[in-house]
Structure 1
Amino acid sequence: MIKAIIFDMDGLMLDTENIALDSWNKAGKDFGYDISRELMIQAIGTTVKDTKKLLIKNMGKEFPFEKVREITMKHTKEYIEVNGVPVKKGLVEFLKYCRTENIPMAVATSTSRIYATELLEKASIIEYFNTIVCGDEVEKGKPEPDIFILASKFLDVEPEECIILEDSEKGILAAARANMIPIWIPDIITDSTIANNNAKYICKSLIEAKDLLKKLNDVI
């Protein structure tokens, strides 16, 4: 029985992954580093701590992660100030449907609390969620299940009663490890053996995911 839905944020609700990839590349060039798109795709769905490990491993011990990340966020914020926060098609309709059906909702994002809250507020969707859990609030990030398990505790529902909506491989794997119901909605990564093998359902968009949820509710 489905009693709650837990949403990832970047790449799932907010169309921000490409912005982030471009911002990392620009910030890297500011410091003389080539931070490729291919490298940063490996960081999708990971916490700041794990992103730091990835970059230092590939860029070297002298890589000034904190400074580069600060400039990365500056580039991203500048883009958003001009263009706003891009939301995925069908998101608001999905959230309104869940509210109408009295389905509790949570956000479980690898992004830090301060930045995640800012994005959700600017996107005008923060009020839909009963709780928000962020990457800097768990010891182990995705693909470990900690963040989803914590979100389900805050929602006061059992893990197996939660649908997880994710765009990343690490998120889908974390949801499966949490004994939840993973729904994969591909974004940057569109071909994934990990996601295919661990997702309970695969949808092309949030519009399709909402239609699936309606069908599942009808079965219940």
Structure 2
Amino acid sequence: MDGLLLDTEATLKRIWQRESARLGFDLNDSLYAHLVGVPNVLCEQKLTHWFKDFPLAEFRANWKAVREEERRACAIPPMPGALELVTWLDGQGVPLALATSSRREMVERNREAWPALFRFASIMTIEQIERSKPDPDIYLRTCAALKVQPRDCVIFEDSNPGMRAAIASGARAMMIPDLATPEPDVREGAARIYPSLIQALASREEWF
């Protein structure tokens, strides 16, 4: 969802870096690269590891408040090609599912803002799994919910941890890089890498 369907990764990066700087900590691009595609609880653990006496509670309250303000203002747009891809797949009768490291509450808020983007037969969130990405647990559970085999599925991902989970599940893993550059193992295991969902949809004959 984040960084693939909605332009939340760039927004979150800007907010986290600004709020960290306001508190006197330098969350630079090199450090932030290690947070892309990682659940927030693990990101927070990294922050307290990197920065001594990091005021986590204050930081969390600040960035969540700012993000909510921007969400209410509809300042977080869909990623290029996201609406077109979902609309086309839905029109073809393809079963769609969302497997995200976000919490259910955030998924529902985003669905309220962009209902046309959330045409999913199944939604799997971080609360429903035991092991987060790069473990394939979330994708295996999602395939089971759709009653399909992973080998018959195409998974779109924007992060390296997400791609590792998709590859390990046995599905056709397609990367649409947002903030993350594909790492060597991901590049090797990816079925395809596209610059955007626009190109992914235009190249749909290559998916299988």
Q: Same fold (TM over 0.5)?
A: yes
Q: CA deviation at 1:216?
A: 4.8
- Tell me the C-alpha RMSD between the 2 structures: 1.9
Q: 1:11 matched to which residue of 2?
A: 3
CA distance in 2, matches of 1:126, 1:66: 32
Q: CA deviation at 1:172?
A: 0.7
Q: 2:50 matched to which residue of 1?
A: 58
Q: CA deviation at 1:20?
A: 0.3
Q: Deviations over 1:16-54 (max 9, x none)?
A: 111101111222234332222322221111112221221
Superposed, 1:1-220 pairs within 5 Å as: 9-60=1-52, 62-125=53-116, 127-213=118-204, 215-216=205-206
SS in 1 for 2:203: helix
Q: Which amino acid letter does the alignment assign opposite residue 107 of structure 1?
A: L
Do the aligned residues in 2 keep the contact of 1:117 with 1:126 (CA within 8 Å)?
no
Do the aligned residues in 1 keep the contact of 2:155 with 2:173 (CA within 8 Å)?
yes
Quick one: structure 1 residues 66 and 102, their matched pair in 2 at CA, closer, same or farther if it must change by over 3 Å?
A: farther
CA distance in 2, matches of 1:190, 1:79: 27
Mark the runs of 5 or more structure 2 residues left unpaired by the alignment: none
Quick one: structure 1 residues 129 and 120, their matched pair in 2 at CA, closer, same or farther if it must change by over 3 Å?
A: same
Mark the runs of 5 or more structure 1 residues left unpaired by the alignment: 1-8
Do the aligned residues in 2 keep the contact of 1:23 with 1:76 (CA within 8 Å)?
yes
**Identity of counterpart residues, as a percentage?**
27
Q: CA deviation at 1:202?
A: 1.1
Q: Which has the higher contact order (CA 8 A, sep 6+)?
A: 1
Q: CA deviation at 1:175?
A: 0.5
Number of corresponding residues: 208
Do the aligned residues in 2 keep the contact of 1:10 with 1:16 (CA within 8 Å)?
yes
Give the alignment's TM-score, normalised by structure 2: 0.90
